[in-house]
Copies of this chain bind each other. A is one copy, B any other.
């Protein structure tokens, strides 16, 4: 072992798994470690501190190990500023660019740690220094939490396609501090800590009760609940119950695809016109004529809001969103029919709209859609609580794996889940 570097860890690093993972990372990647100082947290609320020397055969191996350790929460001990390099052109990052996690992150610029704004994984970190070109905003110098340092320096994430030539991009691993979530001291309540699997062992009804409680709590705290919706909600008969939940004010944003909205509107259009109970309406046979005509009709009127204003659409999830001023994003995909005029067909534009929704959310309900849930999940910090519901266990596992530190995964039928959740919330 010819090269070495010292890193530090601090916090509830034993029971949160951080310490063990760091030892594991070094061994798995062919390095060695030497613990120089270790002060165990002697009781529940005491933090543990560890300083260790990490050794590797080559600089390249050491860098790779340090990159991993950093993402787990270890910080290079040496108190130097982060290195910065200008983006060579639009949409291009320097070779050693630092790729973000979704954990709270701090970057040392000019001797001070600046919190990263809008942290999101797989992004570049852009530093924007205060100065003549970037005049300091007035009265904002004392708030460390907004990602702006005392002198107005900002650090924020940019997805690759937003990087512009000349942007100052953080590279390497020095001067970057990541704070992965820690195991909550109080057990964490209904939300599991870093739960990679699925709570199959918890009874469904009591899980639904816990989710309802969480939604109520978020509402009481003026928080923001984002619901991500797949078309199975309509097929399985959960639509009316979801509309009730929106009307009752539990939802602050809706993210879905064109298909969900069309199915929802189609129920209304054909349920109304044919005078049948929309919940028991049998799905049209093979042909999708009603589906296409629904889109055509909404297009003719100029969009969903216009259709509501016209009185053509007078119930359902989209209707309640418009009536209750719940903003929605309909993101297009290559399997769409139509699409509706409301649907954003460009994927980058749609991602930007989703990103905005995600950053505002305090609780995200992901209901029976892998595509849209992944898109939302990609934009979420690890501190946002999520609830992932799907009939397919693989979908739930995949969403939990990439996601939040506090998540409930539930493998259930959305057609029974939403009515039971509605009853819990509204009764």
Contacts and interface: CB of A to CB of B under 8 A. Distances in A.
Interface of A: 14-17, 19-21, 23-28, 32-35, 38, 40-44, 50, 67-68, 71, 88-89, 91-93, 95, 97, 99, 101, 121-122, 124, 159-161, 183, 185, 187, 196-197, 200-206, 208, 235-238, 279-280, 282-283, 285-289, 291-293, 295-297, 299-300, 331-339, 345-348, 350-351, 354, 371-372, 374-375, 378, 391-394, 397, 411-413, 415-417, 419-420
Given A335-B374, A347-B332, A420 B416 contact: yes
B235 A200 contact: yes
Given A20-B16, A44-B32, A351-B334, A204 B237 contact: yes
Given A122-B288, A345-B347, A300 B88 contact: yes
A334 B256 CA distance: 11
A200 B420 CA distance: 19
Contacts of A97: 289, 292-293, 296
A419 B419 CA distance: 12
A38 B42 CA distance: 9
Given A38-B40, A371-B333, A160 B200 contact: no
Contacts of A208: 416
Given A91-B296, A208-B416, A393-B394, 18 more contacts: A14-B14, A23-B44, A40-B40, A95-B293, A97-B292, A99-B288, A99-B289, A160-B296, A160-B299, A160-B338, A200-B235, A203-B237, A204-B237, A206-B279, A334-B350, A334-B351, A412-B412, A413-B417
A287 B93 contact: no
Contacts of A283: 201-202
B27 A187 contact: yes
A151 to B, nearest CB: 30
Nearest to A237: B203
B351 A206 contact: no
A65 B69 CA distance: 32
Contacts of A295: 160
8 contacts: A17-B20, A34-B43, A160-B296, A161-B339, A203-B415, A204-B238, A205-B415, A334-B372
A331 B183 CA distance: 40
Contacts of A41: 35
B393 A205 contact: no
Contact of A345 (B28, B287, B297, B346): B346
Contacts of A187: 27-28
Contacts of A332: 347-348
A171 to B, nearest CB: 11
B300 A205 contact: no
Contact of A19 (B14, B237, B417): B14
Given A92-B300, A416-B412, A236 B204 contact: yes
B40 A44 contact: no
Given A333-B334, A334-B354, A292 B160 contact: yes
A346 B345 CA distance: 5
B331 A331 contact: no
Contacts of A392: 394
Contacts of A19: 14-15, 20
Nearest to A198: B397
A122 B415 contact: no
B205 A279 contact: yes
A108 B416 CA distance: 48
A288 B336 CA distance: 29
B71 A286 contact: yes
A415 B160 contact: no
A70 B345 CA distance: 33
